[in-house]
Amino acid sequence: MYLYHFGFKELPFSLTPNTHFYLPSPSHAEAMQVLLTALKTGEGFIKVTGEVGTGKTLLCRKLLNEIPDAFEVAYIPNPALSPEEMRYALASELGIKGLARINQQQLSQKIQMKLVELNQQGKGVVLIVDEAQTIPWESFEALRLFTNLETESRKLVQVVLFGQPELDAMLASHRLRQLRQRITFSYKLRGLSKEEVAQYVHHRVAMAGHQQAGLFDQGAIALLHKYSKGVPRLVNVLSHKALMLVYGEGGTQVQKSHVRYAAKDTDSVEMTRQVSLPLNLVIGACVLTTAVLGFFISWPYITEYLK
């Protein structure tokens, strides 16, 4: 690969959400601030949404690393679970033993006892759920019931939901109105601006071990921003391909042409915006035009005939 050629110690644009590469972009930094502030308030649900590839899982991992010691964390990365499985997942994350052969009521009791015990040790429990748009409807209710558990002064569990915009669509439904009311803080991740794409690319390249500035020229950055629409995962895909092209040519700098070629080779990138009218509309317009023209052309004959 191109590691040696560019002086990298590791691949700069891998798709894994690796916190080593984390850049506190304005949107990510704001989101982190909202999360930490919200956790301090000790209230119900916190929600972070963002389009596919905008860095939710990375932020989630960063939060797991940075959350203050006063919190005990339970993490559910794949929450497509039934309510029963959701309870087991929370219990096992909290390190509760003896979960085999107990019924749901006993399980709920064990969870409650553990939460009270942690609370007495001065610890609040935070349940962090990634991919929250995949939670089945009935399991949202199980989550809500966790946040019902409270002492006189504070909740025993706070829930942080990370999800794609579909999560907002689900939460907007009448079925989830009770849960929706309990969301006290929410944040929507934005894509990167052109300047932020430049910083992002530079940051990742530097973290991977390339020390000189200007590996991507300004034209390349502008196209990366245009084709990726500021979505970090797409910036990674395009940058990786562009670097491969430069390496193939034996070059030292990524330019517009490399990014354009990388974009052509990437299915999820829209190269041009073609305005295409629906086919039936086009056919309808043609038929109408022909009829109107036909009428005007034959008008002299019609008037002649009518005389």
Ligand X SMILES: Nc1ncnc2c1ncn2[C@@H]1O[C@H](COP(=O)(O)OP(=O)(O)OP(=O)(O)O)[C@@H](O)[C@H]1O
169 binds ligand X, rule: CB under 6 A: no
17 binds ligand X, rule: CB under 6 A: yes
262 binds ligand X, rule: CB under 6 A: no
Binding string to ligand X for residues 84 to 103, with x set by CB under 6 A, is what?
Answer: --------------------
Amino acid at position 250, single letter: G
By beta-carbon distance, which residue lies closest to ligand X? Answer: 55
Alpha helices in the chain (DSSP H): 3-6, 26-41, 56-66, 83-93, 104-120, 137-148, 165-171, 177-181, 194-207, 218-228, 232-249, 256-264, 279-306
Closer to ligand X by Cβ: residue 17 or 124: 17
Q: Among Mg ion, ligand X, none, what does residue 290 contact (CB within 5–8 Å per kind)?
A: none
As a three-state string, the secondary structure of 213-255 is: CCCECHHHHHHHHHHHCCCHHHHHHHHHHHHHHHHHHCCCCEC
| C-alpha to C-alpha distance for 219 and 260, rounded to whole angstroms | 10
Closer to ligand X by Cβ: residue 28 or 180: 28
Q: Which range binds ligand X by CB under 6 A, 16-24, 68-76, 221-229, 257-265?
A: 16-24
57 binds Mg ion, rule: CB under 5 A: yes
| C-alpha to C-alpha distance for 243 and 254, rounded to whole angstroms | 7
Q: Which range binds Mg ion by CB under 5 A, 2-10, 32-40, 52-60, 239-247?
A: 52-60
Positions in the binding site for ligand X (CB under 6 A):
15-18, 21-23, 25, 28, 50, 52-58, 164, 232-233, 236
